Structure 1
Amino acid sequence: MIIKKQVYRADKKVNPLIGILLFFISILLFVFTVPFGFVYALFYKLFKRGLTGIGEYALKIAISVDQLGNVTMQHLLNALWIKDGGYYFGNRDETISSAIGRNKKLGTLTIFGRAIDKLLDIIDPNHSLNSIDYYIEPTERIIDKLAWIHLVEGKILSTRSNGKTKYYIPGGKRELGESDSLTLVREIKEELSVDIKVPSLEFIGIFEAQADGHKPGILVRMTCYAAQYHGQLAPDSEIEEMVWLTYNDRDMVSAVDQLIFDFLYHKGDLIN
């Protein structure tokens, strides 16, 4: 069984006045209840697990504070730490370090952003890159997609859609409420006329890159699985061509697929 964080669902729109009211209520609750809860938790963790328990508790608080900072300071950080076309701060589910890491990969940190990144690296080498959270809720700046990795004799199955010039690893976008397996079953059936065997799903990895055909700073997050299938492979729907590519064909695929090609090649699964 594949267990992952629940699929993100967009928030319902609320009246701004309700948002302001809830903000003040949350501040009052924080001021009057958090100190008692914090002191109780310290003694509870100390009694149950000693200093190790306190350390684990402190780390959880640090991450939560970091996420709060990513929301409250988002506009300032977006103005000072990233260039135009960078990945925005502000996702409530993400830490500041994770957003820095994404911009570091895109090369969109400003002088200030790079200075903060270097400071973090002194404390913890490769801190921002290691902090990238690939399980955060998708936003308008992260396109959430699934991909089926199917290799035969060192070559990877790829497709080309009608009117497109680049090839893509089969798969597609998740629909509202869909699990990974449901998305893959639906997309692969639509594109290649075969049925994925859900019990055979094997998680490969998660890869991110600039999304093709979108403005800078819009990322595509590709969650990849290998799996067996029923049926006869054949292009369907909007798919014009089905091919088997090698690592030498890397320049023919999208930016995120290039990362997947690199990963598979270095593993020895994809031939030249």
Structure 2
Amino acid sequence: MLTVRSRGRDLLYLPGGKREPGEDDWSALSREVREELAVELAPATFRRLGVVRAPAHDQPEYEFVRMVCFTADYDGDIVPAGEVDEFRYVGHEHRDLLAPASQAALDLAKANGLVHP
């Protein structure tokens, strides 16, 4: 699973972010991935995996993240851009490097046969 480390963060997260006014999921994810990794997502491969909910990293205990997870192929060479310092492919052996919501997304990807133990 492709993850990123944003500037000043200690754990890995999934590429992506919040929607801006007027954006749908595809538009928001495409924009965020372009800004963070300098690649274009391939529209025909865009697929929703599901939704995860987990404690928000570096936030008070009562804060939670709700994250809609997708898969997509991309065109171009991945390069850290914008606020991203690093990208990394991870599997279950790297679970402890992930923020809680990214751990939940890894479980979702595994349940969908996209990540192998």
TM-score normalised over the length of structure 1: 0.41
The normalised TM-score by structure 2 is: 0.90
Output one character per residue of 1:234-265: Cα deviation in whole Å (capped at 9) or x when no partner: 11111111111110111111111111212223
Quote the offset at 1:199 in angstroms.
Answer: 2.9
User: Which of the residues 79, 93, 114 maps onto 1:248?
Assistant: 93
Shift of 1:186: 0.6
Alpha-carbon distance between aligned partners in 1 of 2:44 and 2:114, rounded to the nearest angstrom: 22
What is the RMSD of the two structures over their aligned residues, measured on CA atoms?
1.4
Q: Which structure's residues are more often helix, by fraction?
A: 1
- Whole-angstrom distance in 1 between the partners of 2:31 and 2:67: 16
Q: Identity of counterpart residues, as a percentage?
A: 33
Q: Unmatched 5+ residue regions in structure 2? A: none
Q: How far apart, CA to CA, are the structure 2 residues paired with 1:236 and 1:203?
A: 25
Structure 2 distance, partners of 1:244, 1:228, is: 14
Q: Secondary structure at the match of 2:44?
A: helix
1:262 aligns with 2:107: yes
Amino acid at match of 2:77: Q
- Kindly tell me the number of residue pairs found equivalent between the two proteins: 117
Compute the displacement of 1:205 (Å). 0.5
User: Would you say 1:157 and 2:2 are equivalent positions?
Assistant: yes
Please give the secondary structure, in 2, of the residue aligned with 1:205: strand
Matches within 5 A, 1:105-184: 156-184=1-29
Higher relative contact order (CA 8 A, sep 6+): 2
- In structure 1, C-alpha distance between the alignment counterparts of 2:18 and 2:108, rounded to whole Å: 22
Could you tell me which runs of 5 or more consecutive residues in structure 1 were left unpaired when the two chains were aligned: 1-155
1:226 — aligned with what?
A: 71
Q: Alpha-carbon deviation of 1:180?
A: 0.2
CA drift at 1:203: 0.9
**1:192 aligned to 2:37?**
yes
Greater strand content: 2
**Which amino acid is 2:66 matched to?**
R
Q: What is the CA-CA distance between 1:217 and the residue it aligns to?
A: 2.2
Judged with a 3 Å threshold, the aligned counterparts in structure 2 of structure 1 residues 220 and 246 are, in CA distance, closer, same or farther, namely: same
